[in-house]
Amino acid sequence: MNQYYTTLLERLKKESLTRKTVLEGTGIGDEALFAGTEMIASLAHQKHTWQEEGLLTERLDSKVELVLCGGGHVAKELYTLAQELEMEISILDERKEFCNSTLYPKASLYCAPFAETLNKERSWIKPYFVIVTRGHGFDQLCLERCLALPHSYIGMIGSRNKVAITLDNLKKQGISEETLREVYSPIGLSIGAVTAPEIAISILAQVISVYRKDTDSVRLDPRLLRTLADKTGYILARVVKKSGSAPCEVGFQIAVFGDGSSQGTVGGGLVEANTIEHAKAMLNDRTLPNSVIVYGLDNTKAGSLGMICGGEVALLFQRQ
């Protein structure tokens, strides 16, 4: 168990974090996590003030975790589209005919009463809740419970009249207007959607618009983080700088394990192939240190990868 990544996972459920990483000088690859000004975890072999020059400072959040309250027709369309977007998906429904691995083979399934599922702590990291249950009473129950949980988005399907009644009921129960204003309802962007696939498109478009408003955060894949928390003895390669048209962003990362397998991505193509090759070399030769390697993405300079998109990508290789 890697306590650093366990801490990262647990704290991301509640808040954004700051990561500081040493990219030059002594202790390349050392890093620390901060909640505000408090250091909450570190992976460091040297002592640092974490104020030195040559630090990469990033704000960390999670990629979209979509939690669908209800497993009916709209949920099925949402699942199909969200799979294409590589989102992590959970299905909540007490009806087994609408919550099973035949319908949702790649989702986490919670086939139990909504109240039971939403009353317990889950592995979700500030999820995007979409409430598409089979009835007004279940919608209200789910909305009340979801509002009490850490979340990035809550949307609820329904007519304007039904939505107004639901929100009024919750207001009478003591939930503030400010809290209720967080709810996107009627759900989805206004595109005139009628069919279940169209409604699903409008909902996911809204989820994406909320997700992409924050352009400053590095978005981490919760599935990869859980693997990193469970394992040791691998090489982690992270994009720490890019220029030009490289198909990656700062924060993209890939882990390469002793059996030759890998998880994650640094954008694919030649950059990823070279990254995996160097990570395997580090696994085979423990004298190779943590380092930053810059890959050129053009075909005009000696030592470049011979690509035509231009620019450079810098990757940090870390032993974990």
Angle (CA) 58-61-63 rounded to 5° is: 125
Q: Is the pLDDT of residue 215 over 90?
A: no
77 lies in the same domain as 197: yes
Query: What is the reported pLDDT for 76?
Result: 98
Question: Does the pLDDT of residue 309 top 70, yes or no?
Answer: no
CB 39 within 8 A of CB 30: no
Contact 67, 55 (CB under 8 A): no
User: 78 with 153, same domain?
Assistant: yes
Q: Using one digit for the tens of pLDDT, what is the confidence trace for 164-208? A: 999 999 999 999 999 999 999 889 999 999 999 999 999 999 999
Q: Is residue 146 part of a domain?
A: yes
Is the pLDDT score of 7 beyond 90? yes
Average pLDDT, the chain: 93
Instruction: Identify any residues that bridge with 38 across adjacent strands, giving them in sequence order.
Output: 35
Is residue 304 pLDDT above 70, yes or no?
no
Tokens describing residue 146: 């979801």
Q: From CA 294, how far away is CA 304, in angstroms rounded? A: 9
Q: Which domain holds residue 235?
A: 221-320
Residue 101 DSSP SS3: coil
Q: Is the peptide bond before 186 cis (omega within 30 degrees of 0)?
A: yes
Please report whether residue 259 resides in a domain.
yes
Angle subtended at Cα 171 by Cα 68 and Cα 12, rounded to the nearest 5 degrees: 45
pLDDT at residue 48 above 80? yes
**Residues written for the chain:** 320
Which pLDDT value is given to residue 106? 96
Q: What is the pLDDT of residue 138?
A: 95
The one-letter code for the residue type at 141 is L
Residue type, 185: S
DSSP three-state, residue 309 = coil
Q: Is residue 1 part of a domain?
A: no
Residue 51 shares a structural domain with residue 127: no
Same domain, 162 and 269: no
Q: State which of 211, 238, 273 marks the end of a domain.
A: 211
Query: Residue 262 falls within a domain, yes or no?
Result: yes
> pLDDT tens across 94-146, in order?
999 999 999 999 999 999 999 999 998 899 999 999 999 998 899 999 999 99
Taking the CB of residue 67, how many other CB atoms lie within 10 A of it? 27
Could you tell me how many helices (H) and strands (E) the chain has, helices first? Answer: 9, 16
Residue 60 — pLDDT band, cuts 50, 70, 90?
A: very high
Which pairs count as long-range contacts for 169-173, CB under 8 Å and 24+ apart, including other chains? 169/140, 170/140, 170/143, 170/144, 173/144
Contact 248, 274 (CB under 8 A): no
Average pLDDT over residues 64-90: 97
**CA-closest candidate to residue 106, choices 124, 122, 84, 123:** 84
288 and 183, same structural domain? no
Tell me what pLDDT residue 299 has: 54
> Distance of alpha carbon 230 from its chain centroid, rounded?
17
**Across 13-17, 89-93, 304-308, least confident range:** 304-308
Q: How far apart are CA 269 and CA 95, in angstroms?
A: 43
Indicate if 192 and 80 belong to the same structural domain: yes
**In a shared domain, residues 47 and 129:** no
pLDDT above 70 as % of the chain: 96
pTM given for the model: 0.85
State the average pLDDT over residues 302-315. 66
pLDDT grade, residue 306 (50/70/90)? Answer: low
Whether pLDDT at 218 is above 50: yes
pLDDT at position 305 is: 53
What total of structural domains would you count in the chain? 3
Structural domain contains residue 10: no
Domain end: 176, 211, 246, which one? 211
Same domain for 164 and 77?
yes
Residues 269 and 145 placed together within one structural domain of the fold: no
pLDDT of residue 214: 86
Give kind and range of the element (H or E) at residue 230.
Answer: helix 222-230
In a domain, 9, yes or no: no
Instruction: Look at residue 266 and tell me whether its pLDDT is greater than 80.
Output: yes
Shared domain for 128 and 265, answered yes or no, is no
Domain end among 211, 245, 274: 211
Q: What is the pLDDT of residue 302?
A: 42
Encoded tokens for 126: 């500030």
pLDDT at 298: 66
Residue 115: CATH number of its domain: 3.40.50.720
Note whether 94 and 172 are same-domain residues: yes
pLDDT over 80 at 21, yes or no: yes
Q: Is 7 part of a structural domain of the chain? A: no
In a domain, 243, yes or no: yes
pLDDT at 303 over 50: no
More reliable by pLDDT, 98 or 298? 98
Q: Are residues 142 and 166 in the same domain?
A: yes
